[in-house]
Amino acid sequence: MRGYLIIAMSVLLAAVLARHRWVPGFGLRLGSLLETFLPWLGLAVPVLAALAWWRRPRIALPAVLLPLIAWFAVFGAYLVPTRDDSAGLIAVQHNASDENSDPAGTARALMAAEPDLIALEEVTFPAVTEYETTLAPAYPHHSVQGTVGLWSRYPLTEAAPVDIRPAGFGPDWNRGLRAVAQTPQGPIAVYVAHLPSVRMDVSGLDSAPRDESATRLGSLLESEPLPRVIVLGDLNSTVQDRGLAPVLDHVTTSRDFAFSFPARFPIARIDQILARDLRVTGLRTLPKTGSDHLPILARIRG
């Protein structure tokens, strides 16, 4: 490989990292696919460095610094520990899986972290009964709407489903709820959402239903009357993915990798804890349960 080709590849990689939102989808939503795995582009840097050292180090090796600098500009803050043990709410988000063979064990594992709020997705019958029974002593306040649920140490008011259904999905598709948690810091609107899954096929990345659902969730957040909001959910999207932009226009999260999926070898965080007028800190994963997702935990401060 000639040195100038390594230089061109280094410049291109740096440009993609720094300006990934400019990468066109070509009608296949390739931009979203790229952004889902964006942190892993950093693995190309040592490969380019090795090639540059082998071919023309004095010419090509300095160029490899460009993608390295670009990667640290985007993800460097993610490497700084942000664990926060100060006061604030502790929230846990978990897609518990509708194939989970041990719902009670999963509930106990989440309780061990002593959170104030627990959001679950894929809560199906009869597992919902086990979750309710196991969590009830520590979390007497809860709401389950469709296949999503919220358990809280604090009273919940105004609990109701919210419509984030994409067009063409039937009325039995209910994956969103809103409740107001009456916390010691005051009322907080809490949303639990499970956006549609993303699939790859011959036509590219099939993320249209997820993107439409994200737009609906974003509209709900825009019209939310309470200033302080928490969003917990399996959004089937990373915070780098442009498909989540309608939601991220209204809420933010901490800069932590905390890859949550798939549980056996996590490569992306598609489970999210986000907030408005509150600060999400110390986001991290919890030990594996009977789900194909890892639970995530964060502290939320005013």
> pLDDT, tens digit, for every residue of 261-286?
999 999 999 999 999 999 999 999 99
Specify the higher pLDDT residue, 23 or 203: 23
Quickly list H helices, 22-156.
30-36, 44-55, 57-60, 65-75, 103-111, 127-135
* 282: region left, alpha or beta (phi > 0 left; psi from -120 to 50 alpha): left
Domain positions in the chain: 3-79, 89-301
- The pLDDT score that the predictor gives to residue 84 is 61
**Residues constituting the chain:** 302
- The pLDDT score that the predictor gives to residue 2 is 67
pLDDT tens string 194-213: 999 987 765 566 788 999 99
Which residues are paired to 94 by β-bridges? 120
pLDDT tens string 103-152: 999 999 999 999 999 999 999 999 999 999 999 999 999 999 999 999 99
- The pLDDT score that the predictor gives to residue 247 is 98
C-alpha 133/C-alpha 152 separation (Å) is: 14
Q: At 22, is the pLDDT very low, low, confident or very high (cuts 50, 70, 90)?
A: confident
Q: At 28, is the pLDDT very low, low, confident or very high (cuts 50, 70, 90)?
A: low
Residue 58 has pLDDT above 80, yes or no: no
Specify the higher pLDDT residue, 56 or 107: 107
Residue 157 has pLDDT above 90, yes or no: yes
- The pLDDT score that the predictor gives to residue 31 is 81
C-alpha 18/C-alpha 33 separation (Å) is: 16
Tell me the CATH number for domain 89-301: 3.60.10.10
- The pLDDT score that the predictor gives to residue 75 is 95
C-alpha 32/C-alpha 251 separation (Å) is: 19
Structure tokens at 206: 């099939």
